[in-house]
A and B are shown apart, each in its own frame.
Chain A
Amino acid sequence: MKSSPVMLMMYNEWRRLWHARIPVLLLLVLIVLWAISAIAAHHHWQDHARTVTQVTERSLHDWESQPDRHPHRVSHYGDFVARPIHPLSVIEPGILDQSGHLVYLEGHRLNSANFNPATEATSAGRFPIITPAMIVQWLMPLFLIMIGYATITGEKIGGTLAFMRGNGMPAWKIAAGKWLALFIPLAILLLAQALLVLFWIWGSEQALVRLSTMLLGQSLYIAGWCLLVVAISWSNQQLHSGLLALLLCWVCVCIIFPRGLANVAQIMHPTQPRTEAEYHAEIKLKAIGDSHNPDDPHFATFKSNLLKAHGVDRIEDLPLNYNGLLMQEGERLTTVVYREQQALHEQQLAKQNATIRQWLWLSPALALQCLQMASSGSDLTHHLAFIRQAEDRRYRLIQYLNQIHTHQVQRHDDKNTRVSADFWKKAPRPTISLAALDVSQTAIITSIAVLLAWILLPLLLLSKTMHRT
């Protein structure tokens, strides 16, 4: 059977790479590095996973072993929730180290997500961590450049390119053969990684969707780089200048632009410090009403409405505990303010994200990172979804306790009452689950668009230079 010219080109290129020895060696090094990073990432992931289970178990245990207490005591005792992590974050841990993985849920307080290992990192922590995602994002292109920078320039210098063209071989077939020769081995690596990971994440939430999104992004990214290598290799007359041009591209795309963009976004739209937000929330709360103040207009209306509804004149005559009702109303008000505050904060973050999105086309590496973080559930939107879930749980839990305060505690002996511990066991503590992939939809779509654009760009360059030779 006669192979097509494209296939022949590919086989010949593989033969050349095989005999050059160095490319094969580089591929082996890449695999070894991948293995090291996978072990390291797994170790890192296990730490997190252990913390999450420990916190969840301990929090449940502590919660259920509470003695008889006053419900308001319990609402200040509060509840701890840990952020669930997806097994895919072995590939891309994303903001796991930076975002804080523990939230303390408490009555009328909005606490921050605490305890991120990044805060306590030593200088060694300032170096970017190698994860399998990093390998795809940084090292695969770098090794690809080293393997393939000579792919067409070499043929040019050896005169074989002119020979092939003279024999009527269309330029696109040469380019396609070379591209396939570079892309297929890396694509096989990506597929192998995906298969291995599939075993690992089998049965987790949205395993297939997440993994295939990630694989799609990675394949597009690597395909784009292979094209770029072919295109630049074609446009250069000297081996050396081609290599330097490619390395320069790599440095800009993989390192300078992502960090630079992040910094620009932070400086253009700085976030408000947490403490300031807390003070502002308190000022707002004071403006709405002070439940301790008997003359406060908001709570005076609340009281008179309540008395009217029950047809009584004094709060002592109410069939319910007025203190509990006050707590419920107070919680409702504070929650509105805290949620407003949180929305404001999210707006600030969204502004930063918008700035980044505007310039995302500069760096396919950053686009791939966004995509990988989104699909492994370790990006900002997943984190914010977690914060919202936690806040929802907090509100339901606290209002449940306030209900108990209203119905189970007599007002005349309010502060000395202890309510049976059975009530805590029945409290609503909805499990916190990882948000669905849809929350990061915008990030995924933008990233894929950028990655596609980065396939078109080298194609344009290639078609221009191909016509010249």
Chain B
Amino acid sequence: MKQELTLLLKQRSILLLLCISLLLTWLSLHNGWQNIHHIREQISHAQLEADLRHQSQQADYASRAQIDAGEIGYYLFHNVYQHPTEWSFLALGNRLVTPYVQRIRLLGLQGQLYDGESHHPEYVMLGSFDYAFWLVFFTPLICIALLHDLKASEFQAQRLVFLNSLIANPKVFWARRVLLRWVLILLSLIIPLVFFAIAQSLSLKPLITVIAITVLYTLFWVVICLFISLRKQAMNASLNAMLLASIWLVLCVALPNLAQLWLHQHYPIQDGSQIALQHRQLVHRAWDLPKTDTLNPFYVHYPQWQDTPAVTGRFHWKWYYAFQHMADVQLQAQVTDREQTLALRDQATAKLGLVLPSLWVQHSLENIAQSNVTHLLTHRRRITDFHTQLRHFLYPYLFEEKTMTVNDLVNMPTFENQASAPVHP
């Protein structure tokens, strides 16, 4: 084994390749970390600003004898944050596009939920240079570079016949060679990973999962390389390289593409713009309808307010918020339908991953990093819950026309606090 190692490391190109791999692994981790760090910084900055705003608002409200709850619902924005998790830097996934700070007020939720973030779209399209990308795309290439000419290089150096006559057990001989290369590739991936985890004192369990995924995926590629490069007629190194590169192209580019195409075909989804158009229509139509057309269906959902004073004037906040909410209610079926289809798409992706290793790795790493579409849906559900809490907080002031003072505002729910108490409407 030791001779093998010296033999291998004497080849300068291989040493160089391993160093490059080591460096780029570290770079991919660092880059992912920088991105996540930026998100964290922006979130804490936003929180700080929100606190300042909150204080000045409190001072403003304290000077008034009575606060109009309707205005609170309309003018007060609440920040909602999508916090990255500890291991999010592994795979940026959706976090590259989704807004990490959003603001929500008491108006119809469907008009606010899908606000875009101001990223540079061209770069989002190019994608992120994170560990998932590095592992899925490049480790196969490194495996190919190190393993495609096992037999062929010996043949070309005219040592193969000699070797075959010398070694007692060819299987053990080749296994040792392959094992060594595999271990070196693995080390070039795992050493930076472990160092990174120690330096940032990250939790252990995800680390082990990530290492396991890395081991399995590289093993898969090592086995493929073996099939090609230890064939009987594997004497042409260039042919092997081309074959393996084609396999790489199919597994890492062509098939995932076809998979996505199939997903979109098989689980068609209504474009989000349709929701937005309908939402506007529903909200604004209410202005032209008799107030009871809005309030009666609303009271079906909230019977506790139905005996409150009727709206007779041109405008009343309770009618206003009722139609805002009713627009959401009327769209609920479509929204749930979309969410279910998205969840189905994700499940189908997971299933496809069972036969397509590249997809499996991407999907598993994104699950560890919590940056997949399912996590986006969970986040949206949290926002919905928070919005519901806000509504429930303000409704008594609106419907029972309870007076609101600055002391009542203390009990106003915030997005950060609601995590512990999910609402089930």
Chain A contacts to B: CB under 8 angstroms: 22, 33, 36, 40, 43, 47, 51, 54-55, 58-59, 62, 67, 69, 73, 76-78, 80, 82, 94-95, 97-102, 104, 111-116, 118-130, 138-139, 142, 146, 149-150, 239-240, 243-244, 247, 251, 255-256, 258-260, 262-263, 265-267, 270-279, 345, 349, 352-353, 373, 379-380, 383, 415-416
Known: A251-B141, A271-B119. A122 touches B284 (CB 8 A): no
Whether B408 sits at the interface, judged by CB under 8 Å, is no
User: Interface of chain A, helix or strand or loop or mixed?
Assistant: helix
Are B273 and A119 touching (Cβ within 8 A)?
no
A100 to B27, CA, bound (A): 30
Task: Name B120's contact: one of A94, A119, A380 (CB within 8 Å).
Answer: A380
Are A59 and B118 touching (Cβ within 8 A)?
no
Residue numbers in A under 8 Å from B238 (CB-CB): 149-150, 239-240, 243
Residue numbers in B under 8 Å from A265 (CB-CB): 120, 123
Residue numbers in B under 8 Å from A111 (CB-CB): 115
A-B contact pairs, 21 of them (CB 8 A): A22-B242, A58-B277, A59-B277, A62-B280, A67-B288, A95-B121, A95-B125, A111-B115, A114-B116, A114-B276, A120-B272, A123-B366, A124-B349, A130-B254, A240-B156, A259-B127, A263-B128, A267-B38, A273-B118, A279-B49, A352-B120
B191-228 vs A, Cβ < 8 Å mask (1 yes, 0 no): 00000000000000000000000000000000000000
Q: Which of B219-278 contact A (CB under 8 A)?
A: 237-239, 241-242, 245, 249, 252-254, 256-261, 263-265, 269, 271-274, 276-277
A168 to B414, CA, bound (A): 84
Whether B355 sits at the interface, judged by CB under 8 Å, is no
Q: Residue on A with the closest CB to B377?
A: A120
A80 to B372, CA, bound (A): 29
Known: A122-B263, A146-B242. A349 touches B38 (CB 8 A): no
Residue numbers in B under 8 Å from A99 (CB-CB): 121
Whether B34 sits at the interface, judged by CB under 8 Å, is yes
Are B141 and A373 touching (Cβ within 8 A)?
no
Residue numbers in B under 8 Å from A129 (CB-CB): 257, 260
A51 to B268, CA, bound (A): 13
Are B118 and A345 touching (Cβ within 8 A)?
yes
Known: A62-B277, A115-B273, A272-B118. A130 touches B257 (CB 8 A): yes
A63 to B100, CA, bound (A): 33
Residue numbers in A under 8 Å from B53 (CB-CB): 279
Chain B contacts to A: CB under 8 angstroms: 13, 24, 27, 31, 34-35, 38, 42, 45-46, 49, 53, 77, 79, 91, 93-94, 97-103, 114-129, 132-133, 137-138, 141, 145, 149, 153, 156, 237-239, 241-242, 245, 249, 252-254, 256-261, 263-265, 269, 271-274, 276-277, 280-281, 284, 287-288, 314-315, 342, 345-346, 349, 352-353, 358-359, 362-363, 366, 372-373, 376
Q: Residue on B with the closest CB to A443?
A: B122
Q: Residue on A with the closest CB to B271?
A: A51
Task: Name B276's contact: one of A69, A102, A130, A244 (CB within 8 Å).
Answer: A102
Task: Name B241's contact: one of A40, A244, A262 (CB within 8 Å).
Answer: A244
Residue numbers in B under 8 Å from A51 (CB-CB): 271, 273
A47 to B269, CA, bound (A): 11
Residue numbers in B under 8 Å from A126 (CB-CB): 91, 93, 127, 132-133, 362, 366
CB distance from A153 to the nearest CB of B (A): 10
A123 to B133, CA, bound (A): 11
A401 to B421, CA, bound (A): 45
Q: Residue on B with the closest CB to A265?
A: B123
Are B122 and A379 touching (Cβ within 8 A)?
yes
Known: A129-B257, A244-B145, A273-B117. A98 touches B125 (CB 8 A): yes
Task: Name B261's contact: one of A43, A95, A128, A138 (CB within 8 Å).
Answer: A43
CB distance from A418 to the nearest CB of B (A): 9
Q: Residue on B with the closest CB to A48?
A: B271
Q: Residue on B with the closest CB to A274?
A: B118
Instruction: Sort A-B residue pairs by CB-CB distance and give the 3 closest, nearest first.
Output: A127-B256, A262-B123, A115-B272
CB distance from A258 to the nearest CB of B (A): 5
| 13 extra interface residue pairs, beta carbon distance < 8 Å, beyond A95-B122, A259-B127, A273-B100 | A33-B254, A80-B277, A113-B116, A121-B94, A121-B373, A122-B342, A123-B362, A124-B349, A126-B366, A243-B242, A267-B38, A273-B46, A275-B102
Are A267 and B123 touching (Cβ within 8 A)?
no
CB distance from B177 to the nearest CB of A (A): 18
Are B256 and A124 touching (Cβ within 8 A)?
yes
A432 to B335, CA, bound (A): 29
Known: A116-B97, A123-B362. A80 touches B273 (CB 8 A): yes
CB distance from A395 to the nearest CB of B (A): 19
A38 to B315, CA, bound (A): 56
CB distance from B374 to the nearest CB of A (A): 9
Q: Residue on A with the closest CB to B265?
A: A43
Residue numbers in B under 8 Å from A82 (CB-CB): 273
A383 to B125, CA, bound (A): 14
Are B263 and A76 touching (Cβ within 8 A)?
no
Are B121 and A380 touching (Cβ within 8 A)?
yes
Are A273 and B274 touching (Cβ within 8 A)?
no
CB distance from B124 to the nearest CB of A (A): 5
A239 to B236, CA, bound (A): 10
Q: Residue on B with the closest CB to A259?
A: B129
Task: Name A416's contact: one of B79, B94, B273, B314 (CB within 8 Å).
Answer: B314
Known: A123-B363, A139-B249. A77 touches B284 (CB 8 A): yes
Are B97 and A119 touching (Cβ within 8 A)?
yes
CB distance from B52 to the nearest CB of A (A): 10
Are B101 and A142 touching (Cβ within 8 A)?
no
Are B280 and A104 touching (Cβ within 8 A)?
yes
Are A127 and B376 touching (Cβ within 8 A)?
no
Residue numbers in A under 8 Å from B102 (CB-CB): 275
Are A40 and B46 touching (Cβ within 8 A)?
no
Max chain A C-beta neighbours (<10 A), residue from B120, B249, B256, B287: B120
Max chain A C-beta neighbours (<10 A), residue from B114, B126, B128, B277: B126
Residue numbers in B under 8 Å from A149 (CB-CB): 238
Residue numbers in B under 8 Å from A36 (CB-CB): 258
Q: Residue on A with the closest CB to B113?
A: A114
Are A98 and B276 touching (Cβ within 8 A)?
no
Are B273 and A102 touching (Cβ within 8 A)?
yes
A114 to B98, CA, bound (A): 11
Task: Name B376's contact: one of A98, A120, A255, A379 (CB within 8 Å).
Answer: A120
Residue numbers in A under 8 Å from B100 (CB-CB): 273
Are A40 and B257 touching (Cβ within 8 A)?
yes
Residue numbers in B under 8 Å from A262 (CB-CB): 122-123, 126-127, 129
Task: Name A263's contact: one of B121, B129, B237 (CB within 8 Å).
Answer: B129
A69 to B133, CA, bound (A): 54
Are A115 and B276 touching (Cβ within 8 A)?
yes
Known: A112-B116, A345-B118. A122 touches B101 (CB 8 A): no
Q: Residue on B with the closest CB to A111?
A: B115
Residue numbers in A under 8 Å from B239 (CB-CB): 22
A101 to B145, CA, bound (A): 42
Are A352 and B123 touching (Cβ within 8 A)?
yes
Residue numbers in B under 8 Å from A260 (CB-CB): 27, 129
A99 to B123, CA, bound (A): 11
Residue numbers in B under 8 Å from A266 (CB-CB): 35, 119-120, 123
CB distance from B41 to the nearest CB of A (A): 9
Are A98 and B129 touching (Cβ within 8 A)?
no
Residue numbers in B under 8 Å from A270 (CB-CB): 38, 42
Known: A129-B257, A240-B237, A244-B145. A124 touches B352 (CB 8 A): yes
Are A55 and B242 touching (Cβ within 8 A)?
no
Known: A124-B359, A276-B101. A247 touches B123 (CB 8 A): no
Q: Residue on A with the closest CB to B141?
A: A251
Residue numbers in A under 8 Å from B254 (CB-CB): 33, 130
A85 to B126, CA, bound (A): 20
